[in-house]
Structure 1
Amino acid sequence: MPIYVYWGEDDFAIEKAVSALSDRVLDPLWTSFNYTSFLPDRDDAVIQALNQAMTPSFGAGGRLVWLVNTTLCQHCPDNVLAELTRTLPVIPENSFLLLTSRNKPDERLKATKTLKQFATEFREFPLIPPWKTELLVQAVNQAAQSLGVKLTPKAVELIAESVGNDTRLLYNEMEKLRLYGAGNNQPLDVAIITKLIRNTTQNSLQLAAAIRTGDTAKALTTLNDLMNASEPGLRIVATLIGQFRTWLWVKIMMESGERNPDAIAKAAEVGNPKRIYFLQQEVKSLSVQQLISILPLLLELEVSLKQGYSDIATMQTKVIELCQVSRRN
């Protein structure tokens, strides 16, 4: 019963996983006979995919049936559930059923429970939160290792800052570095990275820093740069909420008298306790009340954007308001 369920917002990572599964399952000479994909616009996509998965593979290799962007784990009619329950336990060992979706499976649905029961792999591919810098650095190191690119530690940090959580951009830039460094055993340093990788990070973390210091002019300039770079408003707000929540926890722990960086890191969900010192310096000038006042404003902004209000006008107004809160004594 080789059943694979992939979901998450990291489209590129899912594409890589699908490609790896295809390479493992399909024989290139028999792919046209043994590979079928079903788009969600077909009403009978799930039923057809299950029927196809029951068909023995032709020639060499296995069979791969892919339900692309399926909503099966969000909504499953009774007739489809009945077919799913009947078919999954008896899918041939050489037939692979793959389901992908951007949305998280609804754990309450019987369809989701059935898939989890029989799935060989039930895996999420989330985007790394932009404020989780240690995870971004780890992702750069993993990409560099997989492509054989040698980097200095500072170069790794610069790449993480430059590409953020855009996995597709990370691998595109890493491929460029691989070609540049071919035949060179020396790690690529910051000077080379600066020349080869465009730093698009007038990023959301810089916007958070400008709001934290109450620098309205810098905050608005950074916001305009982000919008000109087509950064989605909701993604910007998600980063701001995450960063200010981290700052708030650090400040609360400081004022409670906690001095252990490990304890503060655990409470603030910061992966690297060494970052706590720098976070403490960043929130020195702010009170707990100021940080508490900022979060509802960010949540209001998130709601406004979800209701369809103009990104740039709504965000400019709210950024000015946020900077005013940070400047209060």
Structure 2
Amino acid sequence: MPIYFYWGEDDFAIAQAVAALRQQVLDPTWSDFNYTKFTSDLPDAVIQGLNQAMTPPFGSGSCLVWLADTTIGQRCSDELLSELDRTLPAIPMESVLLLTAKTKPDGRLKSTKLFQKHAEIREFSPIPPWKTDLLVKQVRQVAQEVGVKLSGEAVELLAESVGSNTRQLYSELEKLRLYAGDDRQPLDADTVATLVTTSTQSTTKLATAIRQGQTAIALELVADLLRQNEPALRMIASLVGQFRTWLWVKLMLESGERNDQVIAQAAELNNPKRLYFLRQEVQPLALRALLQTLPILLELEANLKRGADELATLQTKIVELCELYH
């Protein structure tokens, strides 16, 4: 009775995982009969899904029942809880029940405790841009899945280029796979730099313009990023990651720390060799300015999530940030 609960804001990663699960459990000949998707807007979607999961599959293979965008991890009536308690342990081995949601299941709910007991719960949230080791790990995993061999430097460059954008990661790796063809040699960083569309390069330039107090250049970069359909929230996430790294390096140096390994660990740097450049970048910066930057970025993120106008809000806060570094 495999039961899966996928949650997180990375819609593309969840879609990839669902597609992989479908391919794994369904016999293509019988998939039209053995695959059912229930959306959250349907009346009694969970009850219908549970009843369907109890139905044996037709022909060969398993049956897959998908409760998409379910809210059961956030609220659950006593009646539904009773039905879950009765049904989850009894789902046949040849049936697979899948639930997906954007929000993490509330650990205080009894329904969540039931899923923790009977289901495999997986998180699909975007990796924070400052966790470079996890971004590199994700590139390695997806490259292996797609069938692309990359050198170590190529992996790091691709992780830096696409960040946490899993949709772009799959797209770029598919492009690299087609380019490599039957060549069994790992692709190098130069090839990746030539072929891959870099979405983080401009945000890196934006962060540099801000820390150098170049208001006009920073505003021009913001306008360019929006014209390229770069999501404002992703832009902010990249800025948070960059300034967080600068802040940690500056804090460690100001405290008198000189051990590169200790500084790299504190700043969560995947490649300690970056410290040579980071030292030079933070040397002229005031610690006070760096400490004030992150709250401004978090306020900017909150305003955008509340529906504020993207361009006007970004321009106002970017000017405010640049003023810190004049």
User: How many percent identity over aligned positions?
Assistant: 59
- Residue aligning to 2:64: 64
- Residue aligning to 2:287: 288
- Residue aligning to 2:23: 23
Deviates more, 1:313-322 or 1:218-227: 218-227
TM-score computed with the length of structure 2 as normaliser: 0.91
Report the AA paired with residue 92 of structure 1. Answer: P
- Residue aligning to 1:297: 296
> Is 1:127 the equivalent of 2:100?
no
**Is the contact between residue 10 and residue 125 of structure 1 (CA under 8 Å) also seen in structure 2?**
yes
Distance 1:194 1:234 in 2: 25
Give SS of 2:247's match.
Answer: helix
In structure 2, the CA distance between the partners of 1:147 and 1:232, relative to structure 1 (3 Å rule), is closer
**Is the contact between residue 64 and residue 95 of structure 2 (CA under 8 Å) also seen in structure 1?**
yes
Give SS of 2:183's match.
Answer: coil
- Residue aligning to 2:264: 265
- Residue aligning to 2:324: 325
Report the AA paired with residue 117 of structure 2. Answer: Q
- Residue aligning to 1:184: 183
Distance 1:157 1:266 in 2: 17
Aligned ranges 1:86-105 → 2 under 5 Å: 86-105=86-105
- Once the two structures are TM-superposed, the CA of residue 316 in structure 1 deviates from its matched residue by 0.8
RMSD: 2.2
**Is the contact between residue 84 and residue 111 of structure 2 (CA under 8 Å) also seen in structure 1?**
yes
Aligned ranges 1:195-214 → 2 under 5 Å: 195-214=194-213
**Is the contact between residue 131 and residue 268 of structure 2 (CA under 8 Å) also seen in structure 1?**
no
- Residue aligning to 2:85: 85
Report the AA paired with residue 292 of structure 1. Answer: L
Aligned ranges 1:310-321 → 2 under 5 Å: 310-321=309-320
Deviates more, 1:195-204 or 1:6-15: 195-204
Report the AA paired with residue 29 of structure 1. Answer: T
5+ long unaligned stretches in structure 1: none
- Residue aligning to 2:145: 146
TM-score computed with the length of structure 1 as normaliser: 0.90
Distance 1:325 1:36 in 2: 55
Deviates more, 1:201-210 or 1:82-91: 201-210
Deviates more, 1:313-322 or 1:199-208: 199-208
Distance 1:19 1:250 in 2: 42
Deviates more, 1:122-131 or 1:47-56: 122-131
Report the AA paired with residue 46 of structure 1. Answer: V
Give SS of 2:325's match.
Answer: helix
- Once the two structures are TM-superposed, the CA of residue 192 in structure 1 deviates from its matched residue by 3.9
Distance 1:219 1:309 in 2: 20
- Once the two structures are TM-superposed, the CA of residue 270 in structure 1 deviates from its matched residue by 3.5
Report the AA paired with residue 257 of structure 1. Answer: G
**Is the contact between residue 131 and residue 205 of structure 1 (CA under 8 Å) also seen in structure 2?**
no
